[in-house]
Amino acid sequence: MHNLIQKKVDKIKEEIIIDRRDFHKYPEIGWTEFRTASLVARRLEELGFQVLVGKEVMNSDKRMGLIDKEILKEHYIRAKKQGADTYYLEKVKYGFTGVVGILKCGDGPVIGLRFDIDALEVLESKDTEHFPKKEGFRSLNEGIMHACAHDGHIAIGIGIAKILSEMKQFFNGTIKLIFQPAEEGVRGAKSMAVSGILDDLDFILSSHIGMVKDGSNKIYSNVQELLATSKFDAHFTGISTHAGASPEKGKNVMLAVATAILNLNSIPRHSKGQTRINVGKLTAGSGRNVIPSDAVMMVETRGSTSELNNYMKEHAIRIIKSSADMYDLKLSIKEMGGAESAVSDEYLINKLKDAVNKINNVEVDDTNINFGGSEDFTYMMKRVQNNGGKAIYFIIGSDIKADHHNGKFDFIEDDLITAVKVYSMLIAELLHKK
């Protein structure tokens, strides 16, 4: 069967690349993936999948960092103009941009494959040597770019759908292709993880393109240090007044945020593992001669385990609340994103190795890879593992052209073909009829 899979994937190589370039050309940020989600849903339906979208696969109360309704409306209108599927566009309206395609192949295990679909607020390079610019598929949505390979992930998912639709007679079980919004900022996975759509899964799989440089034709199976994280905004409210004539009448938020920032960075490190904290953005004040009355701090904590992240988060919130109390300010804290820590199951790591070893000109590298960042796919991993299933997160090597989240980021498109082969072969390992 492994030869048949490789031949079928090679046959649709150009289609996979065309899909990648189309999604790259029309990038959409988290919760606004209206065109993307609607087209993915339509393609899955055409390939014979049962399609669930929006509120059918998302818990609306668990969407983190949801953006303003007016911005959602603007992006919805743009998506309509840029060729969104009108039927599914209505179903993903208001930021309900999750899509799941289900293919039933008889009795057997249930496998979920997750693909993130959002882009970043990054200005794409206009350099004529930048491959998307050179080949005519640079982002048309200025200031938004697929700078983290999610356009590739979408194309991989659709490519797998094509292969599965042609080979379903070879499998016993059910495959769920999960297209997740708002991974950037770790905001979207939780709403799908707790929706119930994962609760019958025996296995869940996901990967990322190119987190290891100079890695084309390699699959990195042993990914470590998926850091748990919490993202939240702290809103301080005081009283403004004239800074010269009546400063005593004010309640100065600037003093509170300065106190908070200094003390946040003095939280003791922990002996059990890595911890991080960062105030990435501070917006405060209105003018030189005005006691500032409003401030917003954008904060994140991280830890090599969920326990360590919670340690940092609890300390941080206590410091922020104390800083507000010190200056008699009102305070509200809003959760904006998060991820758990997670570890891949050895069973699936070994199955991945078996699958890759059957693919021509591709090898497994089982070196410990320190991911060093966070991934909200961990919510899905933990959900499945807590229900008795198994999970894996791996890396698809690629000779990337610049760092992720950089305006010149790009990857080798042939690595998309490798990825479709790896996933398809792994599914065959897990669901192949005996």
58 and 105 Cβ atoms separated by less than 8 Å: no
The predicted structure's pLDDT at residue 368: 83
Contact between 243 and 259 under an 8 Å Cβ cutoff? The reply is no
**Helix, strand, coil percent values for the chain (each to nearest 5):** 40, 25, 40
Torsion of CA 108, 46, 146, 416, to 10 degrees: 60
Q: Dihedral angle at the C-alpha atoms of 334, 340, 341, 345, nearest 10 degrees?
A: -170
Give the Cα separation of 352 and 201 in Å (integer).
Answer: 18
pLDDT at position 224, please? 81
277 within 8 A of 265, measured Cβ to Cβ: yes
Phi and psi (nearest 5°) for 238? Answer: -125, -145
DSSP H helical ranges for 111-201: 131-134, 150-167, 189-193
- The full set of domains in the chain, from first to last, is 2-226+342-431 (3.40.630.10), 228-339 (3.30.70.360)
pLDDT of residue 214: 63
Q: How far apart are CA 163 and CA 21, in angstroms?
A: 20
pLDDT digits (tens, 9 = 90+) for 344-398: 999 999 999 999 999 999 999 998 887 878 999 999 999 999 999 999 999 999 9
pLDDT reported for residue 367: 86
CA trace torsion 357, 362, 367, 371 (10° rounding): -120
Number of other residues whose CB lies within 10 A of the CB of residue 316: 23
Give Rg (Cα) of the chain: 23
- The secondary structure element, H or E, covering residue 119 is none
Distances (CA, A) of 174 to 33, 53, 161, 168, 170: 26, 18, 12, 10, 12
Name which of 157, 151, 154, 156 is nearest 138 in CA terms. Answer: 151
Write down the H helix ranges in 26-85. Answer: 34-46, 69-81
Provide the pLDDT for residue 370: 79
Per-residue pLDDT of 262-319, as tens digits, reads: 999 999 999 999 999 999 999 999 999 999 999 999 999 999 999 999 999 999 999 9
**Mean pLDDT, all residues of the chain:** 96
Question: Which residues make beta-bridge pairs with 174?
Answer: 104, 110
CA angle 353, 153, 9 (to 5 degrees): 65
pLDDT less than 70: residues of the chain: 213-214, 434
